[in-house]
Structure 1
Amino acid sequence: MSRSASLVEITLPPREALLDLVGQALAEWPDGVEGALRLVCTRGGEDGEPVTAFATLAPVGARQIQGRQEGIAIATASLGVAADARPAAPWLLGGAKTLSYAVNMATQRWAGGQGVDDVLWVSSDGYALEAPTSTLVWLAGDTLWTVPAASTGILPGITARCLLDHAGDLGYAAGERMIRPVDLTEVDGAWFASSVRGLAEIRSLDGKPLNRAGDTARMLSLLGF
């Protein structure tokens, strides 16, 4: 949150105040129900009022849980920019987690119209980037990979980072590199990772089946899902 706030030039309330807000939300949440917590800070009113912060907590949707258990089918869609364009254009808000989710949600609605579960955004020069609300992770040999956030402007996903940071616990190395969507058909497994979704294995890409990995359950357990 602090990174995204810096990108959009918002001064966050003190950390202690935000933690207290989160604690209030969690105190009212029923035991045994998996929930998705969202902490939101806005710039405040137009007349220079202080930043407004609020928290929401809602049950994780059945489709997200089903994706963890059964995998997902995805399609590619162009993001309309080159892979290295956004770091040099900060006004595009690459890597910022903001309320500007119109394109993200429109993309997912388009995916539903195509009969798939989600979308992999692709750069104009043909590289895989990220999903509207998830990070791409793939297994090639004994290494777990993800797309480098610094050079592409994708959101540096916390769940994917946690998975790669603990890849050694699963017997894997970890790294970052670029990949083209067509090359995902040759890897040993691919997933979308997010804090709400957890980890969903990609079963097919643009109608082409992908290799199924055998470690999804272990990865989900490692991440606490």
Structure 2
Amino acid sequence: MDRRFALMIEPAPEALSDYAGTFAVVDASAPALSVGELSTQRGDGVFESIGVVDGHAQEVEPHLQRLAHSAQLCELPDPNLAQWRAAVAIAARNCPAGESVIKLILSRGVEKGPAPTAWVTAAPAGDFTAARTGGIKVVTLDRGYDSGAAERSPWLLLGAKTLSYAVNMAALREARRRGADDAIFVTTDGVVLEAPTASLILRFGDRFVTPAPHGGILQGTTQLSLFSHLEEQGFETAYETVPTEDLAAADQAWLVSSVRLAAPITAIDDTRLTLDSAFTAGLNAYLLSPRD
């Protein structure tokens, strides 16, 4: 059943301990936003997507911390994390069995309005079985800036998870035009970044590497969790500046995200990569286990 749930969040003081009166359940299929809402007019806001497995919201705290970080970069009011935490718990209780996704959205609100707009939605997740088991093909796409752009031009908001996803969606369309499933962004000076909606993990022997979270890379919550898991298994993990040419030298690679989880990469541009089905299944079994 396609069960959907939506919750509008009203501003609440930090000192408040019971947030029951600050939430309003709304019909997820009915109009709920003003035509003057800046999230829809300009993409002026931030968001997070939290994976849910059998009613358990995964890695809530890292997502809330990243929401706060994105809000700070966009000069939005600091989100009341206790209130958001309570909203996530309500949304998770309304998720069906299986996999779902909770989205947290914080917008600047109506233009010249008194307060930001905030809401939470929950819905069944898509079926990513094919990507998790059969793998995906990716192409590299020039992101259009060099590796120093984030530090040199902070107004580009390259480290924030904003609602302005038009470029990311255009990159996915371009990847499909090229016969691929997804893309990996690279800088104009040849440094690997991330995928439009996922983090990249590369394997070189028993060493796992992800591009260092600077230069406009969003720190991945799923990547962080997987690195902790891999370290517990005795593997070495590292954050590094990855030159584009190193992609072809990887033994294996994955795109990882909160909802699709670990999707093994079978080809990057014209380079074929090994698909280790058993190892990938182990990664996804871990990601589907309850994690806080």
TM-score higher than 0.5 here? Answer: yes
Give 1:54's match in structure 2, choosing from 116, 119, 143.
119
Aligned to 1:202: 265
Judge conservation of contact 2:212–2:241 (CA < 8 Å) in 1: yes
Structure 2 unaligned spans of 5+ = 1-66
Aligned to 2:43: none
Q: After superposition, where does 1:100-111 map in structure 2 within 5 Å? A: 100-111=164-175
Instruction: Give the CA deviation at 1:7.
Output: 0.5
Aligned to 1:219: 283
Aligned to 2:78: 12
Aligned to 1:71: 135
Give 2:87's match in structure 1, choosing from 17, 21, 26.
21
Aligned to 1:41: 106
Aligned to 1:131: 195
Aligned to 1:144: 208
Q: SS of the residue aligned with 2:171? A: helix
2:234 corresponds to 1:171: yes
Q: SS of the residue aligned with 2:219? A: coil
Rg (Cα) greater in structure: 2
Instruction: Give the CA deviation at 1:102.
Output: 0.5
2:245 corresponds to 1:182: yes
Judge conservation of contact 1:44–1:51 (CA < 8 Å) in 2: yes
Task: Name the CA distance, whole Å, in 1 between partners of 2:243 and 2:273.
Answer: 14
Task: Name the CA distance, whole Å, in 2 between partners of 1:203 and 1:2.
Answer: 35
Aligned to 2:7: none
Instruction: Give the CA deviation at 1:65.
Output: 3.1
In the superposition, the TM-score normalised over structure 2's length comes to: 0.72
Judge conservation of contact 1:186–1:211 (CA < 8 Å) in 2: no
Instruction: Give the CA deviation at 1:100.
Output: 0.4
Instruction: Give the CA deviation at 1:139.
Output: 1.0
2:177 corresponds to 1:96: no
Instruction: Give the CA deviation at 1:88.
Output: 2.4
Instruction: Give the CA deviation at 1:184.
Output: 2.0
In the superposition, the TM-score normalised over structure 1's length comes to: 0.92
Task: Name the CA distance, whole Å, in 1 between partners of 2:255 and 2:217.
Answer: 14
Judge conservation of contact 1:190–1:202 (CA < 8 Å) in 2: yes
Cα RMSD over matched residues? 1.6
Judge conservation of contact 1:72–1:201 (CA < 8 Å) in 2: yes
Instruction: Give the CA deviation at 1:58.
Output: 2.2
Q: How many residues align?
A: 222
